[in-house]
Amino acid sequence: MSGGVIVVGGGVIGLTTAVVLAERGHRVRVWTREPAERTTSAVAGGLWWPYHIEPVESARAWALRSLEVYEELAARPDRTGVRLVEGVLGETDPAEVEGWAAGRLTGLRAATAREYPRGGGLWARLPLVDMPAHLPWLRERLAAAGGTVEVRAVGDLAEADAPVVVNCSGLGARELAADPAVRPVRGQLVVVENPGVGTWLVSTGADGEPTYLLPQPGRLLLGGTAEEDAWSTEPDPAVAEAIVRRCAALRPEVAGARVLEHRVGLRPARPAVRLERGTLPDGRPVVHHYGHGGAGVTVAWGCAEEAAGLVGPAAS
């Protein structure tokens, strides 16, 4: 054993967990099959909101802790990629939101007909994270705390030559943790030139298809899909057309926006997030930390702190 902690997985969950551990005094190495820019996290829209994640009560607690961190990071948006942006949560009951986020989300009110023509929308000011900026910033913060990132494939958690292993492998946990309960939920989005949309919008609509518009620096993200057990990472042109059509129904100005790129990511969904301490066959402790579905960005800091608690204090 060469000491410290190895975090397996370099997406937003793995990097955030590594940062928390390193800043608590652990010597941390991240082993990741892909660099952060090619992980599912890099494709995420980045809006803070607990989506497609269980258990709900835990997710809300992790989300509220993460909200505190993102509010601080929003003071330096050019560095961190985090901004506080206003927008509309469609088909959302204000009473339900106030029931778990009372006093934490300021400025909540019913959206006007102009803001959300379909009615029943909730206006809110939430963190919106630009993942192509945020992931490199996390890596830099980890390096500043003494941590390292190594791109390498891991076929077995026992390969990790550290006294403690943290498994943040997302969908990779199907093999690494022999856990078929973690399954893909395919998300596709279209990146277009922003025709002047300054607020975000999320809607489920009458057909139940998720629809969102997320203004990020220099572009507008249009989405989306939530296809369970779909493994393809190739963009589907018909799906892309449907996404643009749904978004244009809500914001007509995007109908003719020039398409910059198409993106697909596989969310690592699970009936419940697995966040627990176990042991490897050789007796070493392993902390499993995966299955965050579509809310990895939303819960990252709250989950990372709980995972770090399961690792325990750094050796003196």
**Is 287 part of any known ligand binding site?**
no
CATH code for the structural domain at 1-81+130-182+270-316:
3.40.50.720
**Is 290 part of any known ligand binding site?**
no
DSSP per-residue codes, 106-127: TT-EEPPTTT-TTS--EEEEEE
**Is 316 part of any known ligand binding site?**
no
Mean pLDDT estimate for the chain? 95
**Is 41 part of any known ligand binding site?**
yes
pLDDT band at 206 (very low <50, low <70, confident <90, very high): low
pTM above 0.85, yes or no: yes
**Is 267 part of any known ligand binding site?**
yes
**Is 296 part of any known ligand binding site?**
yes
- Asked whether 161 and 1 are in contact (CB, 8 A), the reply is yes
pLDDT band at 1 (very low <50, low <70, confident <90, very high): very low
pLDDT one-digit tens code per residue, 264-292:
999 999 999 999 999 999 999 999 999 99
Residues 96-108 as b/e (b if ≥16 CB within 10 A, e otherwise) read ebeebbeeebeeb
**Is 259 part of any known ligand binding site?**
no
**Is 58 part of any known ligand binding site?**
no
